[in-house]
Amino acid sequence: MTIKKLHPSHASLRGELKVPGDKSISHRSVIFGSLANGRTTITNFLDGEDCMRTIHAFQQMGVSIEINDQTITIDSKGIANLQEPIEPINLGNSGTTARLLLGVLAGLPFHFTLFGDESLTKRPMDRVAVPLREMGAIIDGRENGKYLPLSVRGGHLSSISFETPVKSAQVKSGVLLAGLLAEGVTSVAEKTTTRDHTENMLQAFGVKIEKQNNHISIEGKQQLAGIDIEVPGDISSAAFFLAAAAITEGSQLTIKDVGLNLTRTGIVDVLKQMGANMEVVEERSIGGEAIGRITISSSALQGQVIEGDIIPRVIDEIPLIALLATQAKGRTIIRDAEELRFKETDRIATVVNTLQALGATIEATDDGMIITGNTELKGGDVDSYGDHRIGMMIAIASLVAKDTIYLNNPACIAVSYPKFFEDLEKISR
């Protein structure tokens, strides 16, 4: 296994940067493009390992998908022409591929076998399998079909009214996709708003949906027509550099062409609450997705309480917020974030273990963590635990640490940001 030596740089981050395409939007663009009739062209696609899993799954179902760096061209004859794959589908590390694809496969008259890597094999799939079974799909696997590998026999689906018991856009999206293939009107209600890229993209592909507060309805059997999509920069990737600029003295950084969808910009709100100097400018909107620029400069930060409805808007940024909190004055309390336990790793445990190993004062709670700030971090041996966001959090920690950090297993960062270290280098002064 490789180890990356991260010297304490204390560099400031300066200049302008465009981060790779949004992971959630990239997945969805391939899924909807494959279900649509005609050509879909996607630019600024995230060519990380996770999104490649989604591409390969639809290639296995006979869809023509051409990859030219970050431009993807899909030529599809629509849902009716998808084919039964001969080989099992490998989902790798990708929870989004797993949950969204399950929704599609449930409505196709074929048999599928799905498997993933060690991490994905431990993540719950019953959150989507249960409603899909209720609609008529036959899904089985270990522990009554809770975990991968799964066997899916799809086919005729009936519509349902479903209230998501978990705060998860993946579950909402899986059921909406099945609803698109089902007979009748399927509705999904969620207690807390989660990212709404599925709803935005369905509409961009010509599908009619009804949305009232947190209640979404979709009539089945609608046709999708191919479109051109530009994927905004991923705010979850930008977040690493925003956090880095906030805590390294003398920084002034602009992230260009980044997605500013309000269901994703919780990190901007948290940084501002903590006292960061930031300016956010919305410049345009494509397919219902706002795009713009964020400028940030370093400043003193103050601990905060982060809880309630903001949690789904920052769910992937909580490892970073914990790191920011170690550099902020006072206490930060993160609550209502029990979903962190079901990510690529149990991120309450992996964040707390990692930051403790680096000398931070942090403790785990059932649904979050408590951090007491303004600690100088030290160096040492730490592990990404195979989780891309933990790996990148450690790299940012090394910018302010006293000694060298040895990061075990940095390769997982390629899941969402293959050129992370090159980009960090570009803006370090």
Closest CA to 374 of 331, 317, 321: 331
State phi, psi for 179 to the nearest 5 degrees. -60, -35
Q: Which residues pair with 175 in a beta bridge?
A: none
**CA-CA distance, 105 to 34, in Å (whole number)?**
13
Smallest separation (angstroms) from ligand S3P to the CB of 400? 26
Closest CA to 150 of 139, 164, 160, 163: 139
Is 230 a binding residue for ligand S3P by CB under 6 A? The answer is no
**CA-CA distance, 294 to 258, in Å (whole number)?**
8
Closest residue to ligand S3P, based on beta-carbon distance: 24
In the region spanning residues 331 to 350, those forming contacts with ligand S3P, defined by CB under 6 A, are: 339
- 8 Å CB contact between 182 and 159: yes
* Residue 309: active-site member: no
Is 168 a binding residue for ligand S3P by CB under 6 A? The answer is yes
Position among 31, 36, 224, 315 found at the interface with ligand S3P (CB under 6 A): 315
Position among 12, 76, 96, 350 found at the interface with ligand S3P (CB under 6 A): 96
Is 164 a binding residue for ligand S3P by CB under 6 A? The answer is no
Smallest separation (angstroms) from ligand S3P to the CB of 303? 24
Looking at the Cβ atoms of 180 and 377, the one nearer to ligand S3P is 180
Q: At what angle do helices 169-181 and 197-204 cross, to 10 degrees?
A: 30
How many CB atoms are located within 10 Å of the residue 285 CB?
14
**CA-CA distance, 387 to 340, in Å (whole number)?**
12
In the region spanning residues 8 to 37, those forming contacts with ligand S3P, defined by CB under 6 A, are: 24
Which listed range, 66-74, 166-174, 287-295, 402-410, lies at the site for ligand S3P (CB under 6 A)?
166-174
- 8 Å CB contact between 373 and 300: no
Length of the chain: 429
Is 175 a binding residue for ligand S3P by CB under 6 A? The answer is no
- Measured at the CA of 287, the angle between CA 45 and CA 272, to 5 degrees, comes to 80
**CA-CA distance, 253 to 369, in Å (whole number)?**
29
Which listed range, 69-77, 165-173, 271-279, 367-375, lies at the site for ligand S3P (CB under 6 A)?
165-173
Q: Catalytic residue among 47, 196, 316, 423, which?
A: 316
Position among 190, 316, 387, 423 found at the interface with ligand S3P (CB under 6 A): 316
Position among 195, 264, 293, 313 found at the interface with ligand S3P (CB under 6 A): 195
Smallest separation (angstroms) from ligand S3P to the CB of 251? 26
For ligand S3P, the binding residues (CB under 6 A) are 24, 96, 168-170, 173, 195, 315-316, 339
Question: Which residues form the catalytic set?
Answer: 316
